[in-house]
Structure formats: C-alpha cells, structure tokens
Structure 1
Amino acid sequence: MTAKYFAILTNYGAAQLANAVALGTQMNISAMAVGDGGGTLPVPDPAQTKLVRETRRAAVNQVSIDEKNPNFIIAEQVIPENEGGWFIREIGLFDDNGGLIAVGNAPETYKPNLQEGSGRTQVIQMVLMVSSTQAITLKVDPSVVLATREYVTKSIDTAIQESEAKSAKIYATKTELSSGLSGKQPTGDYATRTELNNGLSGKQPTGDYATKTEVNSKLAKDQNGADIPNKPKFIENLGLPEKFQPIGT
C-alpha cells in the first residue's frame, strides 16, 4: 500500500545536500511553512519550488536528530494560539536562501484562531530521512519563545546534568583538604608557633600587673593575719593603735 502522507527532499534540496556533503559544509534549515493545498490534499513533488498555497511561514523552533534513528532529521515549529483560521494540508522546509528544501503533506487539520473562540497551540513536525545528518545544521532559534514540552524537559535535564557536573568540582573532600594542608605553614605576615614560644620565653608582662611571685607573697586568707610581718605597723596604718592595749603591759 502506497503511503498517503509522506515528506521528500525536493530536487533543489537534494542538490544542496549533495553539495554540502561533497564540500564538507552544512545546509541550514531556517524556516518552515504550512499551507492548505488549495483546498485539497496535495501530493509532494520533488520538482516543487513552493507550496501549493502557503498560509504561514516562520522560523523553525528546533532541528534535531531522532534519538532512535540517526539518519532521521526532525524539524519542528510551534504555531501560537493567536494565529490560524485555515487548514493545514502541506508543509515545507526552506534554507537561508529561501529555497524549498523539502515538502510533505499531512492529514487535514484545521488550525483555529483565538478570535474564533477556540484557539490552540499547534506543533508541526516534519521528519526527513537523509544520507548524512552531518551536512545539516542542527539548531534551536533563540528568538522563538514557544517550545514543546519534550524540548523543555530535555533542556531541564541537560541543565541539571551540567549543573551537577560543575558543582561536583566546587568542593574539596576531607581527604583532599587533609593532604593539601598536611605539613603546611600559613604564608604571609604571621608568626609560627616556634617563633611565638621563643619570643615569649622568660618574659614578664609590662605595665601595672602583678607578677606570679608578688601574687604568691600576698596575704593568705586562711592565715587570719598571722602572716602579717609587722603587726603594729599594720594596726597603725588602719588608724587603730589607741584602741588596742598590748598584752602583758
């Protein structure tokens, strides 16, 4: 059974791809167009240079290689909900020069306009099988805000993987720190422990401080004055000599 819906390279597209492969250059898919086929389902023709009746043309959102089929190129475009009012029966891909690279037909789909009271976002994909995907530029147009859920999911997964790869080397492990600091002395205007010990050895603090010897020679609380060397002088200093009568006089 002959396929009813399919996409093919045009003669122009096949020549451009062959030239890119031969010269080691790349063919850039820059735009996608949709059309209503003039009211009927068209049959793609390699001799085509334009769609039967184009209704919209805009930059592609994404061009990528199918993960399961490395020779399949997937071109994708998102039509916003505020554009429409026509049927989609044909699709075309264009290069930077405006040449029609590939053409395909699609099951008839009406794209409503939001002003009609039933707008929706429409995702259009064209899948092409080519001999060399290296000859085709794979890109995402950064000027296009809309994206499919699949693209967003892949972008998030990629960002997470890149973030994890970067953060893995931001921090040092305990082993790395230990081996890196082992036997190290801080550099700069700092004194080492040996220098501090040598500098302070045998030193007494200057200023209004009591030495250890002075502190030890002071009155002991548990002696109750018995360790006062000159008791009469001590009483005199307190202003109490007339109140005391020496014992035995």
Structure 2
Amino acid sequence: MTQQFYTVLTHTGAAVLANASALGQGIKLTEFAVGNGGGTSFNPDLETLKNLSALTNEVYRGAINELKVDPENPARYYAEGIVPVSVGGWTVREAGWFLDDGTLFAVTKYPPSYKSIPADGVATELPVRTYIATGSSNNVELKIDPTVVLATREYADSKIRWEEITVDTNAKDGQRYKFMGASILTLPAAGGDPVYFEAALNSGVSEETPAKIVVEGGAQINTSKGLFTDFLVTQPKVTWRADFENGEWTL
C-alpha cells in the first residue's frame, strides 16, 4: 500500500463482514477509539494493522458520530468520531472502529495530530474521519446506534444560537454565550445541561480586560488549574464548557 495513512479492515473484521454478507445481515458499529501508537516511532506495516485486536495504546473511546455510504463510491462508508474539547494532552496516531460486541472491525493509521485541552490555552474538538471499504453496500449494511451520537460543535452551532452578551448576564442551562466585551456571566447555583461560552474575535477581551465567569452565591468553579471564585476569560475564540457535577461547576 503506497498511501502513508489509511484505514483497513482487521482480519477479524473482514471475517465478520464476509459472514454478514453471506447471511444478508447488517453490522452495527458503535464505538471508535484513538491511541498515541505508543510513541513517536509508530509506523506499523499493513499486515500488522490487519492482525490487531486492540489499539497499541488507546487513550480515548467514544460513540461513533456519523456513518453513511459514500455517495460517490457505494463500496465504502464514511465514518466519523469526535474527541471532545475536554479530553486530550496527547498525540493521536491511530484510530479503531469497533462493533457492538467490542470487536475491532477496522483500524486507521492516522496522521499525527496533537489533541489540545483547555489547560493548553486553546482547545477544540478533534474530528476523526475516514472511509471504511466494505465491497458493496448492497451486500451488507453498516449501522450505528442513533441514541448515542455525539453532536459536533458545527452541528450544535447550527441548531443552538450563540447569545451575544455586552452586559452582565445570568446564564441559563444549555445555552451558549459569546462575550462581545468584558462583562460577567453568572452561572446558576445549581445546573443541569452544560453552558458554553467564548469571547468573540473582536470583543476586546484580553488579559488586561478579561471577561469573567462567576457562580451565583459566590461558589467556586473547579478547573484544571484549581478552584476559582471568578474565572477569567482572556483569549478570544476559545470555547469553554461548564458542567455541573457533584454539586459544583467544572470547566
């Protein structure tokens, strides 16, 4: 194989696919995982990848976000998983695609990509995308469980409006707030759905003129850098997620 980065069925995955095709049954893919390959020297050959039953060093696993037949090539499926904002601090070099019984169906030799976390100062989701060749979608159907699909930021942004704030504001569960200036966003004393916030690119928010996140009643906010009664937002276009867990807000 001349490509440097690619996705192949494992030997076990190919056997499952052949059996499902012969019986006219579908296959359900439920999870994806990413790994760091065990280090910078990760460079397995094709046969090594096909023989895998697990990633070399898995660092994150989640639900597959999207799976659909490639409209330009019905012999393969487009697959996507999302590594969320809060997870990372390592370099992705491998990805795996798993059946509902835990079988590693396909494996991806992935171009090295560092997954940042909020503590790095910049944090984003990492979409892991590939094509999985199955021969023909007429012979076998790959499926995912729609009840566990994670919404990507792009999709969520299209469904949930960002509320632009220029004055001090009391936050509501499940809402997204965009600071247009150095105002204060107050989280409720007890929450439900996550609250998202970021400063707009031309908001004037900076280390000298930060926006602030506080909690109603003066409770502390738990972050990777410690507890704060007021959390300062100093960089534009960095999205933060606040979750209410175990009686406290966590970023």
Q: Identify whether the pair has TM-score above 0.5, normalized to the shorter chain.
A: yes
1:83 equivalent in alignment to 2:83: no
**Match for 1:53 among 47, 53, 57?**
57
Separation in structure 1 between the aligned mates of residue 66 and residue 145 of structure 2, nearest angstrom: 4
Alpha-carbon offset, residue 83 of structure 1:
0.9
| Distance of aligned partners of 1:120 and 1:90 in 2 relative to their CA distance in 1, 3 Å threshold | same
Matches within 5 A, 1:15-164: 15-39=15-39, 40-43=41-44, 44=46, 45-134=49-138, 135-139=140-144, 141-147=146-152, 149=154
The C-alpha deviation readout for 1:179-209, integer Å capped at 9, x for no partner, is xxxxxxxxxxxxxxxxxxxxxxxxxxxxxxx
Unaligned runs of 5+ in 2: 160-251
Number of residue pairs the alignment of both structures matches: 154
Residues 101 and 55 (structure 1 numbering): CA distance in 2 closer, same or farther, change over 3 Å? same
Question: Counterpart of 1:12 in 2: which secondary structure?
Answer: helix
Looking at structure 2, the residues matched to 152 and 74 of structure 1 have their Cα atoms a distance apart, in angstroms, of 22
Given that 1:90 and 1:104 are in contact with CA atoms closer than 8 Å, whether structure 2 keeps it comes out as yes
Question: Could you list the per-position Cα deviations for residues 140-175 of structure 1 after superposition, in whole angstroms to 9, with x for gaps in the alignment?
Answer: 63333422647987x9xxxxxxxxxxxxxxxxxxxx
Structure 1 position 137, deviation (Å): 2.6
Give the partner amino acid of 1:112: S
Identity of aligned residues (%): 32
Cα distance in 2 for partners of 1:152, 1:65 equals: 25
SS of the residue corresponding to residue 55 of structure 1 reads: strand
Runs of 4+ with deviation above 4 angstroms: 150-153
Tell me whether 1:3 sits opposite 2:8 in the alignment: no
Shift in alpha-carbon separation, 1:54–1:111, aligned structure 2, 3 A? same
- Taking the aligned partners of 1:49 and 1:21, their CA distance within structure 2 comes to 21
Larger Rg: 1
- TM-score, length-normalised on structure 1? 0.57
Is the contact made by 1:61 and 1:140 (CA closer than 8 Å) also made in structure 2?
no
Structure 1: runs of 5 or more not aligned: 156-249
> TM-score under structure 2 normalisation?
0.56
After superposition, the Cα gap between the structure-2 partners of 1:34 and 1:119, relative to the gap in structure 1 and judged at 3 Å, is: same
Residue 79 (structure 1) shift: 1.4
